[in-house]
């Protein structure tokens, strides 16, 4: 799965980006990680319209509440999902990645609000799945809980920083039988990059049965081909 956060830095216009995405699609990379919070979002939106025959799977990152709001709003939450659906096109397959940016005093308080949020959104997620607006629902756990939580079949799994330096949520995923979408596959800024060991870094995730998808970054054909060869 291809990350899109840095696209604006490397692509000057939607013509060059659409050609790159079309090339990636032909090479079998048909999944993108997308966020309206990224400065690349408008460029990506226009680029996808230029290759409108291509049907991608899009993981759409959705912050609710975000840093501007203290409380969760079901109305805002649903509106944000439909905005992605309208902006990027109905033909794509959508996976929602929820990020709760609650401003809490401690871990216990955050966990309480997170579980309360799940109670609120459950019916909406089930409805959107039935209507085939979205395919699945993942969330990013901003806490260090390793315990089993209430069983919620509408949750498909978690997104998590996962690489040879970080695997903080593995026990949590295992306890709750969650699948993982791995983010920051190459370690981000945690340690010195190990670009020469692409295969080792990618297979660290792909070899784990809990990992459903791996998000990686590539900003030109050469990088993309290196990633494909490493898989």
pLDDT (tens place) for every residue of the chain, 231 residues total: 999 999 999 999 999 999 999 999 999 999 999 999 999 999 999 999 999 999 999 999 999 988 777 789 999 999 999 999 999 999 999 999 999 888 778 878 888 888 999 999 999 999 999 999 999 999 998 776 777 788 899 999 999 999 988 888 999 999 999 999 999 888 765 555 555 688 888 899 999 999 999 999 999 999 999 888 887
Quote the pTM value.
Answer: 0.91
* Domains of the chain as residue ranges with CATH: 2-230 (3.20.20.100)
The C-alpha atoms of residue 26 and residue 47 are separated, in whole angstroms, by 16
Q: Are 59 and 97 in contact (CB under 8 A)?
A: yes
Ramachandran quadrant class, 130 (left: phi over 0; alpha: psi -120 to 50; beta: rest): alpha
Phi, psi at 161, each rounded to 5°: -65, 120
Q: Are 96 and 34 in contact (CB under 8 A)?
A: no
Q: What is the DSSP letter of 195?
A: G
């Amino acid at each position: 799965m291809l990350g899109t956060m840095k696209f604006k830095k490397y692509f000057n216009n939607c013509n060059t980006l659409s050609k790159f995405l079309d090339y990636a699609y032909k090479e079998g990379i048909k999944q993108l990680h997308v966020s309206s919070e990224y400065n690349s979002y408008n460029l990506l939106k226009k680029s996808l319209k230029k290759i409108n025959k291509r049907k991608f799977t899009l993981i759409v990152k959705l912050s609710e509440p975000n840093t501007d709001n203290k409380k969760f709003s079901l109305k805002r939450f649903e509106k944000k999902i439909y905005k992605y659906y309208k902006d990027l096109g109905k033909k794509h397959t959508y996976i929602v990645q929820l990020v709760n940016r609650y401003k809490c005093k401690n871990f216990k308080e955050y966990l309480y609000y997170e579980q309360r949020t799940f109670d609120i959104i459950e019916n909406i997620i089930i409805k959107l799945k039935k209507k085939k607006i979205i395919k699945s629902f993942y969330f990013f756990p901003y806490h260090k809980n390793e315990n089993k939580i209430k069983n919620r079949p509408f949750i498909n799994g978690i997104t998590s920083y996962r690489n040879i330096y970080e695997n903080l949520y593995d026990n949590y995923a295992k306890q709750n039988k969650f699948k993982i979408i791995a983010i920051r596959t190459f370690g981000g800024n945690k340690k010195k990059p190990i670009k020469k060991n692409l295969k080792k870094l990618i297979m660290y995730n792909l070899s784990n049965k809990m990992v459903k998808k791996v998000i990686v970054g590539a900003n030109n054909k050469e990088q993309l081909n290196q990633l494909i060869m490493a898989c």
